[in-house]
Amino acid sequence: MKKIDIFEIDPLDVTFEPLAGSTFTNLLKLLAQNHFHVELLGMPRIVYSTFMSLLFSPLNVIEHIKYDKKTKKTTLNKPPIFIVGHWRTGSTFLHNTMAQDQQFGYPTTFQTVTPALMLTFEKLIKPLVESSLPETRPQDNVKLGADLPQEEEYALGNISPYSYYNGWIFPKNMEKYNDYVDFQNVPKKEIQEFKEIFHYYLQKLTLHYKGKQLLLKNPSNTSRIKLLYEMYPDAKFIHIYRNPYHVYLSMKRNIEKEMTLYTLQKPPKWEIFEKSMVNMYNRMFQKYLKEIKLVPPENTIEIQYEKYIKEPYPQLKHIYTELNIPGFEKNKEIFKNYLQSQKKIKTYSYNIEKELQQKIYHQLKEAIDYWEYTI
């Protein structure tokens, strides 16, 4: 198969750089982890991120002084609901739909871009975040907005090194950050630190939402089931899965369109990224199958992407019923109206040549056979 290089980077495009919302301490830690290896194409982005991080530093200190003790005293009286599933499997659509139910709290884009400022400076900072966002996501035509639901993995990357997306910022070191997805080859000290940071962030969200049950969507959590179940024994897990052939192609597009807005280094050739992507998929799949068995069956459900896209309303009702989540009848008209508004969003169609089909099957055979997918 012909070798390709899919990465086209505009070094002057700085506003989508995740590190701009990072605490300055975390920014320095990430740079040190990567031996301050920022290439020429990343210079405008790191200058912008450093400036914004330093600008926000006094505000971070004020929020810490004002809310740290209160945050640490906050308890999650209602167990979280975790939406999991590999990237590009429809978890965003499911998250956005369930978030229409006002009984839930969820991380917003603003709360993940600047997690250290979310309790005190929303009115000041949110307009800056809003102005930096495109109208839709770079990889598809799903709407973006500072108040819309977002995955907390971005927040974790702005207050800790333990985030998958740090590997997109520093692709020369991406395997290190891939390990934080399933915590293979990670010292116990770092696992414990991750748990403390993760819980602290959920405490901040709970404090912000005045005790509401948290609805969280994060693909990385797909291979953290055991860790999350140990932390939150009554949590519920919704796993959404999709045809692996389409996940492969959609993930390729995602990396091409989104990763290139983050990176501070010249990405490796696509073949290297592809190998890492496939390896990560298989690691997540295997770990999920092993760990989901630890969770009581009444607290888990699996949803097929293709069925959810085709008939979202009955699938949503099925989720509420099977997981014994109250409130579906109360919100059914809200759900119907929201789902109607999303019908204009079109998914991509893929024409997969036989050679590529065989290649993907060879790479993702275990998952394809397990879910009995064809091309």
Q: For residue 75, what pLDDT is reported?
A: 98
Work out whether the CA dihedral 266, 174, 18, 160 comes out positive or negative: negative
Per-domain boundaries in the chain: 18-370
**Entry pTM:** 0.95
pLDDT confidence of residue 132: 82
- Residue 310: CB atoms within 10 A of its CB come to 10
pLDDT recorded at residue 351 = 81
Q: Cα(201)–Cα(184) distance, rounded to whole angstroms?
A: 23
Return the H-helix or E-strand segment holding 322.
helix 312-322
What's the pLDDT score for residue 344?
77
**Rounded CA gap, 327 and 29, in Å?**
44
CB 107 within 8 A of CB 155: yes
The topology (CATH level 3) of 18-370 is Rossmann fold (3.40.50)
The pLDDT assigned to 6 comes to 62
User: What is the distance between the alpha carbons of residues 178 and 182, in angstroms, rounded to a whole number?
Assistant: 8
Strand partners, 215: 81
Give me the average pLDDT of each 10-residue run along the chain (375 residues).
Answer: 64 91 97 97 97 97 98 98 97 97 98 97 93 75 87 97 96 96 95 98 98 98 98 98 96 90 93 95 98 98 96 97 97 96 79 92 97 89
Neighbouring C-beta atoms of residue 229, cutoff 10 Å: 20
Angle at 178 between CA 348 and CA 260, to 5 degrees: 50
Q: Say if CB 225 and CB 181 are below 8 A apart.
A: no
Task: Output the pLDDT for position 349.
Answer: 77
CB contact burial 325-364 (16+ within 10 A = b; e otherwise): beeeeebeeebeebbeeeeeeeeeeeeeeeebeebbbebb
Query: What gap in Å lies between CA 155 and CA 114, rounded to an integer?
Result: 7
Both ends of the chain: CA-CA distance in Å? 19
The number of CA neighbours under 13 Å toward the Cβ of 344 is 6
pLDDT at 5: 59
